[in-house]
Structure 1
Amino acid sequence: MLHIEPEKRKDAAARMALLNEADVVFLCLPDAASKEDVSMVSNPNTKVIDASTAFRTHPEWTYGLPELHKKQRKQIQHSSRVAVPGCHATGYILAIQPLVAEGIIAKDYPASCYSLTGYSGGGKKLIAEYKNSGQEQLSAPRPYALHLNHKHLPEMKFYSGLDAAPIFKPIVGNYYQGDAVTFPLSPRMFTKKATAKDIQELLAHEEGVLLVSRFDNLGKGASGAAIQNMNLMLGFDEGTGLE
């Protein structure tokens, strides 16, 4: 593992030297800082795994969601630039994309989605707010991104197979970790007749359909997904270090 002296963290030359010396680089930075660091990498053998939103829909980067489709895992294995998916996006895409691929719902389906998440997904500032503030209003779930412009929307549209991003409403709860990404579906809007028996491998429904993706956002969120992708890129078992 390579280290940089604290006083040199803003020294571009020092950062560049370490970036190009590393076999694998994990970037956990704001978008602008990630783009700056990536631009410094000239060593063709350096593999970069980025956790920001900067490269998730970039054509020269591989989306780090091995379960997306049959070819995705192999693409990650052979890639030197992998973008780690957002936690909300992971739950949404893995449930919606198979329905689009199987022709159950049309590409112009008007999807909506809400996601309940633990506060660890908001990073250091939000974690500190929940742990230290003692504010009574934090005890109840709080909707956020009320302008409907959440940063995960581009990848949710790009990889779901739908023509548009969903109307997306994230909610942060007073617990540390875990996501429940939920989206209702209307069978009357399916592109072909599908009974519960017909689509039980993909869905289970009565009069309506409610999909819920439940997962640990620290396990299948940015940190765990980054390790999974590193394992694939280096030829290890993808579950190494994630037990």
Structure 2
Amino acid sequence: MTVPKVFIDGEAGTTGLQIYQRLADREDLEVISIDPDKRKVASERAKMINAADVAILCLPDDAAREAVSWVTNPQTKILDASTAHRTADEWVYGFPEMSADQRSHIATANRVSNPGCYPTGFLALMSPLVRGGLLPATFPATVNAISGYSGGGKKLIAQYEGFRAEAPAEESRSPYSPYGLGFRHKHVKEMQKYARLHHVPLFVPAVGDFAQGMVVQIPLPLWSLEDAPTGKQLHEKLSSHYANEPFVPVAPLNDQGQLRDGSFFETKSANQTNEVQLFVFANDETKEALLIARLDNLGKGASGAAVQNLNIMLGLSEKSGLSS
């Protein structure tokens, strides 16, 4: 039996390398690689893309669009890890757990766009609540999120680790640095579209003084709603939506076990997994709630999600090469 061939265009980048490491020892598929001396030669890349059953694009947006234009083999499927096609109508969004039929759409698609890391956490929380009617589509969503610096790719990793080497004392480094303060972050349209919101969310991302890990927080001033859901209703909606999903565990309501010393939420506990872990903290008396998603920005936020989508596209076991 012939095993499917997979080509990673951009294998040397942060996400590409992580994907390669997750696939390298698999026997149910074959990773085909380009000659390192030819990895920037367009004709050679095009040849490899068209020789693959699935080509995974780990490229800047413009380069990803160009690579897609080279496809001449109608049997070649594309899984794009860039931002280029995430809101394109002719592409399938690669978040299998988003809705009851999303997994089947991915399985039959020739073009799949891998979700962004921040949108994965946001949509895991917000999409079921809006689609399920607990929050209105007009809700003015706000998102406060922090990621390890590995989310910025090789350039940011090198810059940050160089800075850490020059200033090793923890007190001399900033533990938390908000960015994207022009309110035009590339992820907000993706968040709005798949959460079915009328307005883009107010998104405030930050980079933390740690390499890997991510926390996405959505505060809910429930007192602003005429028919405000309770914390139990929010939690039950998420729990029922993800009841059979191995990679989206929902913690008990107001789970104090997630708080170090009873006060501090742990940031990196999902690292080295393909999970996006969901939490609901609520106070019905004050009508306030906080939704939290915790994930590995290089796992379910990038390479892990890509491997999961690849498995679905090829009809292989969805959990192959992944850990929960």
TM-score, normalization by structure 2 = 0.71
| Aligned match for 1:205, one of 266, 279, 282 | 282
State the match for 2:277 in structure 1.
none
Where in structure 2 are the equivalents of 1:58-73 lying within 5 Å?
A: 58-73=88-103
Q: Distance in 1 between matches of 2:35 and 2:213?
A: 34
Unaligned runs of 5+ in 1: none
Counterpart secondary structure, 1:75: helix
| Aligned match for 1:12, one of 42, 53, 64 | 42
| Aligned match for 1:182, one of 210, 217, 220 | 217
Q: What per-residue deviation string (whole Å, max 9, x for no partner) do you get for residues 22-78 of structure 1?
A: 111111111000000000011111111111110001111110000111000111111
Unaligned runs of 5+ in 2: 1-30, 238-279
Question: Do the aligned partners of residues 101 and 190 (structure 1) sit closer, same or farther apart at CA in structure 2, a change above 3 Å counting?
Answer: farther
| Aligned match for 2:195, one of 156, 160, 164 | 160
Query: 1:230 and 2:310 equivalent?
Result: yes
Q: Distance in 2 between matches of 1:5 and 1:198?
A: 54
Is residue 131–residue 195 contact of structure 2 (8 Å, CA) maintained in 1?
no
Counterpart secondary structure, 2:292: strand
Q: Distance in 1 between matches of 2:33 and 2:173?
A: 37
Q: Distance in 1 between matches of 2:232 and 2:88?
A: 39
The structural deviation recorded for 1:177 is 0.9
Q: Distance in 1 between matches of 2:175 and 2:60?
A: 28
State the match for 1:30 in structure 2.
60
The structural deviation recorded for 1:12 is 2.5
| Aligned match for 2:296, one of 205, 208, 216 | 216
The structural deviation recorded for 1:7 is 3.9
State the match for 1:43 in structure 2.
73
Q: Distance in 1 between matches of 2:123 and 2:232?
A: 23
Query: 1:172 and 2:240 equivalent?
Result: no
Q: Distance in 2 between matches of 1:156 and 1:218?
A: 19
Q: Distance in 1 between matches of 2:235 and 2:33?
A: 51
Mean Cα displacement is larger for which, 192-201 or 62-71? 192-201
Cα RMSD, aligned residues only: 1.6
Is residue 104–residue 191 contact of structure 1 (8 Å, CA) maintained in 2?
no
Counterpart of 2:102, as a letter, is Q
Identity %: 47
Question: Do the aligned partners of residues 163 and 8 (structure 1) sit closer, same or farther apart at CA in structure 2, a change above 3 Å counting?
Answer: same
Is residue 125–residue 293 contact of structure 2 (8 Å, CA) maintained in 1?
yes
